[in-house]
Amino acid sequence: MTMRVELDEPKCVASGQCVMASPEVFDQRDEDGIAVVLDETPDDGLLDSVQEAVAICPAAAIRLVEQ
Amino acid sequence: MRRILIVGASAAGLAAAETLRRQGYDGTLTLVGDEPEAPYDRPPLSKQILAGEWHPERLALRERSDLAALDLDLRLGTAATALEPADRTVLLADGTRIPYDGLIVATGVRPRRLPGEGAHVLRTLDDALTLRDRLAPGRRLIVVGAGFLGAEAAAVARGLGAQVTLLEPAPVPLAHAVGEEVGRVLSKVHLDHGVDLRTGVGVSEVTEDGVRLADGELLEAEEVLVAVGSSPNTEWLAGSGLTLDDGLVCDEYCAAAPYVYAAGDVARWYNPLFGTRMRIEHRTHAAEQGMAAARNLLDPDARKPFAPVPYFWSDQYDMKIQAYGYLRGHDQVAVVEGDLTERRFLAAYRTGDRLVGVLAVGMPPKAIRRWRQAIAVGTAWHDALAGAAPAAEFT
């Protein structure tokens, strides 16, 4: 089962919390700080950190879904 | 532990519930909330919801299926009314008694009000929708309190064409939080957008036609929004034996008593990173502390002190403010990047000999994160500023 990272970009508030929780999977655009998903289907070893990013995102803009 | 009860179904309570399940807790998990809605997000209330840009459904913190997967005993629309610690039982307004093995208190805060009837406050979805329906071009709105919430609401109301008067009792808005110079720069944006900002003006009461100022003058408006801070919801804990002092007092593990933890706006806990007790009303903090409290409750032998760098942001017009750390009570501010007058800057805050905070407007994210990291590891002020050439310093 593969997990896919979904970002609801219009909801993102550019807090950068996801980048701190999971720097391998998220980054921020330089111009406005909006989140960017670097790896939409991260390896299992990264899923804990992505879960952390989902939980900490202040805009509830990230979901981890089974595909 | 087979029965965990979380009182408060907003960001902190939900984060606690999710963490418990993620950590493998499979016992009964009861989540009690006094509002009827499923857990929703509050920051957009004073932004996209007030502006009418978003349908309220967008506020849901989790999709229905994600919420269902948590297998919660979800009790919404019911407030907790008392805690009986000897019996480890919480009483609800509908008469239900809920026994627990572990309890997480996340009951948040409620807006302070002023004497008199008819003013809006802005805390719940209902509050936001009610105010939104009353704002229209040319309509006069008085906002009492130029803190972050009042400032955001004033900005949105201007965007909707309302005539806005923003009243602030302090000489400089936000000075207690961000310092006078930064506060002055942040408040000027309201003048630039046609808000009638009046500082050093106290309000004694809300009247039928507007507000009465401390000096007796009547100021007329169709709508009044009171945004003068909030009070922690701890009344239901009176008589429980827990320590209440502007919040539920906790140790560095977020524990208020054995098997009783607190998280979010309501919790006053000891933050070892800054060596002080604090109560933080920020959105990210609620989630972080909910997670920390849940972990510590579930695994007491491996519990960890909760030592976060608080973070908040505020959107006003096209200006985004972001801040890390604990700025309150700072001794010095230095503008280390950019320029205050251009509203593109990063200001660093010193308390004692430590870097304790940064506040940024219009700066790239990587620049801010570097400073956040320096705060997280307790960098000395001298070291933090080495290499920086402060454009301006204020004490």
* B323/B218 same-domain check: no
Cβ neighbors of A8 (< 8 A, separation 6 or more) are A59, A61, A62, A63
CB nearest B284 (choices: A19, A51, A58): A58
Helix (H, G, I), strand (E, B) or coil at B309: coil
For residue B196, the domain's CATH number is 3.50.50.60
Residue B10: name the closest of B98, B123, B100, B129 by CA.
Answer: B123
Beta strands in B66-112 (DSSP E): 73-76, 80-84, 89-92, 97-99, 102-105, 109-111
CB nearest A33 (choices: B287, B311, B365): B365
Distance from CA of A25 to the nearest CA of B (A): 16
The domain ranges of chain A are: 3-66
* B252/B209 same-domain check: no
CB nearest A14 (choices: B62, B66, B320): B320
Task: Give the pLDDT confidence score for residue A67 in this predicted structure.
Answer: 83
Task: Give the pLDDT confidence score for residue B387 in this predicted structure.
Answer: 75
Question: Which chain A residue has its CA at the smallest distance from B315's CA?
Answer: A13
Any domain includes B294: yes
**A55–B contact, CB cutoff 8 A:** yes
Task: Give the pLDDT confidence score for residue B54 in this predicted structure.
Answer: 96
pLDDT tens sequence for chain B (395 residues): 999 999 999 999 999 999 999 999 999 999 999 999 999 999 999 999 999 999 999 999 999 999 999 999 999 999 999 999 899 999 999 999 999 999 999 999 999 999 999 999 999 999 999 999 999 999 999 999 999 999 999 999 999 999 999 999 999 999 999 999 999 999 999 999 999 999 999 999 999 999 999 999 999 999 999 999 999 999 999 999 999 999 999 999 999 999 999 999 999 999 999 999 999 999 999 999 999 999 999 999 999 999 999 999 999 999 999 999 999 999 999 999 999 999 999 999 999 999 999 999 999 888 899 999 999 999 999 999 987 777 788 87
Distance from CA of B191 to the nearest CA of A (A): 24
Q: Do A13 and B284 touch (CB under 8 A)?
A: no
Q: Which of B196, B226, B256 is the last residue of a domain?
A: B226
Range of B79's domain? Answer: 3-110+231-302
Task: Give the pLDDT confidence score for residue B243 in this predicted structure.
Answer: 98
* B122/B171 same-domain check: yes
Phi, psi (deg, nearest 5) at residue A45: -60, -20
- Angstrom distance (rounded) from CA B312 to CA B198: 25
Q: Do B287 and A58 touch (CB under 8 A)?
A: yes
- Residue B383 structure tokens: 């070291």
pTM of the model as a whole: 0.96
Mutate to test the interface with B, among A3, A15, A18 (most CBs of B within 10 A): A15
Q: Do A11 and B315 touch (CB under 8 A)?
A: no
What is the CATH architecture of A3-66? Answer: 2-Layer Sandwich (3.30)
* B169/B208 same-domain check: yes
- Angstrom distance (rounded) from CA A24 to CA A49: 9
Mutate to test the interface with B, among A3, A19, A20 (most CBs of B within 10 A): A20
Any domain includes B313: no
* B292/B376 same-domain check: no
Q: Which of B226, B261, B289 is the last residue of a domain?
A: B226
Chain A contact set for B291 (CB, 8 A): 55-56
Report yes or no: B140 and B220 within 8 Å, Cβ to Cβ: yes
B276-279: which pairs have CB atoms within 8 A and are 24 or more residues apart? B276/B326, B277/B249, B278/B310, B278/B326, B278/B328, B279/B232, B279/B246, B279/B247
**Residue pointed to by tokens 């169709």:** B222
Burial B151-162 (b: 16+ CB within 10 A, else e): bbbbbbbbbbeb
* B138/B127 same-domain check: yes
Q: Flag residues of chain A having pLDDT under 70.
A: none
**B369–A contact, CB cutoff 8 A:** yes
Any domain includes B307: no
Question: Which chain B residue has its CA at the smallest distance from A20's CA?
Answer: B369
* B356/B291 same-domain check: no
Mutate to test the interface with B, among A3, A6, A13 (most CBs of B within 10 A): A13
Return the axis-axis angle of helices B11-22 and A47-56, rounded to nearest 10°: 160
Cβ neighbors of B45 (< 8 A, separation 6 or more) are B59, B122, B123, B124, B125, B127, B128
Any domain includes B148: yes
Distance of CA B331 to the CA centre of its chain: 23
**A11–B contact, CB cutoff 8 A:** yes
- Angstrom distance (rounded) from CA B61 to CA B18: 12
* B206/B134 same-domain check: yes
* B193/B119 same-domain check: yes
For residue B364, the domain's CATH number is 3.30.390.30
Report yes or no: B362 and B320 within 8 Å, Cβ to Cβ: yes
Q: Which of B208, B226, B244 is the last residue of a domain?
A: B226
Total domains in the fold of chain B: 3
